[in-house]
Structure 1
Amino acid sequence: MKVWSQKNLEDIRHEYIDFDGEWYLAFGRPEKSGCWIIYGKSGQGKSSFALQLARKFDEMGLRVLYLTLEMGACDDFVNSVLSVGIHSKTNNIIYSDEATITELDEYLSKQRSPDVIMIDSIQYFEQQGGAKAPEIIRLRKKYPRKIFVFISHVDGREVEGKTAYDVKRDSFKRIYVEHFKATFIGRGKGGSRGYYIVWAEGYQKYWIENIKSDNDGTEDEETYQ
């Protein structure tokens, strides 16, 4: 067991991600380490947000590995990548569609290995790569200067499966995506606004339709009174 004195604790120097603009307003300056988890229902902007985050990390000079375990290099995934502005002339993100937790560990042990590892999805990483929460947490602790970002399916409003739930509990940052709005839910302090709009047109359309629906409901009630 390793222990720290008070002075040891005070002398620890943390590195931070210097987000700016919309990213800073949503997430502040998070520590450059630990697990993050992005979760939400399909079709509401979760994957697009993850790719936008990958692009932002890359623009900031961080090396990014994106494990596209679910979609591989299919046409839909390639189009999604291009649609968020990631392309070979400006970005250096690397991809893979297969990895066991042992293979990932070996890869991360190499010099100049990625700073950020994004895994889509944690459910596929468990099913295909044999990853369980204790192994994932050990990997996170073994590489304290790296960021692990997991994308997760949900059951209702909660992450799907025990592995995802345990990793969520261990995650430093939790981001829930719904109706193209990514909301910070997690340890520590986020940005002053606390959310990021993934797709403005889709977000606005959802709220306009719901406001109209609410107004229609109110008018109907008044008509029948």
Structure 2
Amino acid sequence: MRAYSPSEIENLNIPELPLDGEWEAAFGRPSRFERWFIDGESASGKSTFVMLLGKKLCDYGRVDYVSLEEGANLSFKKRIKRLGMKDVAGKFKVVTGLTVADLVARLERPKSANFVIIDSVQYLDVRSFDRLKKELFDRFPRKSFILVSQVYKGRPKGKMADDIRFDCGVKIHTKGYRAYCQGRYTDDAEAYFTIWEEGAAKYYLTE
């Protein structure tokens, strides 16, 4: 146990993720090692947003996209091409068909990813948040995990996903091709990132 004074807290050296532009406006500047949670209904722009975020994070380090739900199927291939992911080929890797133990082994290698996107958490071979935290998050406190979830009846699908959401400092919900921030790093409850301008305009015009 340790007790801190306010001055000591202010002087703590906690690296920020230096987001800029529309990214900073929507999500602030979270800790570089923060965990992110992203959910949204089908056809809300979630998959596109997650890929765009992965591309942006390449500005700050190496990114592993753990594609469990889609693997490397045709829709994933088309998204990779449409969003120009070849531009960040040196920093961005897609990883498929692995277990949590496989991921741990991969992240223990030298020069492993700084940011790890897991899409979707419902496809992990671990079923409890406590075990996932112990086996993955606690082992790599200086890596940032971005956890993508399916939705069922407006909530993250399954207890583990719900527990992960509460744990994460950045919470994002996609709706109508906008990504709304519900996390701890912005004071603007209305903040959002536009995923697709035309789609958002049509959605909110008819909502």
TM-score in same-fold range (> 0.5): yes
1:179 matches 2:176: yes
Instruction: Say whether the 8 Å CA contact 2:66–2:94 is kept in structure 1.
Output: yes
1:154 matches 2:151: yes
Tell me the CA shift for residue 191 of structure 1: 6.2
Whichever structure has more helix as a proportion of its residues is 1
Q: Determine the structure 2 residue equivalent to 1:104.
A: 103
Q: Determine the structure 1 residue equivalent to 2:132.
A: 136
Instruction: Say whether the 8 Å CA contact 2:55–2:88 is kept in structure 1.
Output: no
Instruction: Calculate the aligned-residue CA RMSD, in Å.
Output: 1.9
Instruction: Say whether the 8 Å CA contact 2:63–2:115 is kept in structure 1.
Output: yes
Tell me the CA shift for residue 105 of structure 1: 1.4
Instruction: Say whether the 8 Å CA contact 2:37–2:171 is kept in structure 1.
Output: yes
Q: Determine the structure 2 residue equivalent to 1:44.
A: 44
Aligned length: 204
The secondary structure found in structure 2 opposite 1:168 is: helix
Q: Determine the structure 2 residue equivalent to 1:93.
A: 92
Cα deviation, 1:69-115, whole Å, max 9, x if unaligned, reads 11111111011112122115755310111221112112112211100
Tell me the CA shift for residue 187 of structure 1: 2.5
Where structure 1 has 5 or more consecutive residues not aligned to the other structure, the ranges are: 211-225
Q: Aligned runs of 1:1-225 on 2, under 5 Å?
A: 3-6=1-4, 9=9, 11-58=11-58, 60-87=59-86, 91-125=90-124, 129-138=125-134, 139-189=136-186, 194-210=191-207
Where structure 2 has 5 or more consecutive residues not aligned to the other structure, the ranges are: none
Structure-2 separation of matches of 1:135 and 1:76: 31
The one-letter amino acid paired with 1:57 is L
The secondary structure found in structure 1 opposite 2:35 is: strand
Runs (4+) off by over 4 Å: 7-11, 88-91, 190-193
**Residues 187 and 201 from structure 1, CA distance in 2 versus in 1: closer, same or farther, beyond 3 angstroms?**
same
Q: Percent identity?
A: 29
Q: TM-score when scaled to structure 1?
A: 0.84
Cα deviation, 1:34-80, whole Å, max 9, x if unaligned, reads 3211001011100100000000001x131000011111111110111
Instruction: Say whether the 8 Å CA contact 2:177–2:196 is kept in structure 1.
Output: yes
Q: TM-score when scaled to structure 2?
A: 0.90
The secondary structure found in structure 2 opposite 1:34 is: coil
Instruction: Say whether the 8 Å CA contact 2:33–2:142 is kept in structure 1.
Output: yes
Structure-2 separation of matches of 1:46 and 1:67: 15
**Residues 6 and 207 from structure 1, CA distance in 2 versus in 1: closer, same or farther, beyond 3 angstroms?**
closer
The one-letter amino acid paired with 1:185 is Q
Which structure would you say has the larger Rg?
A: 1
Instruction: Say whether the 8 Å CA contact 2:28–2:185 is kept in structure 1.
Output: no
Structure-1 separation of matches of 2:186 and 2:88: 35
Tell me the CA shift for residue 144 of structure 1: 1.6
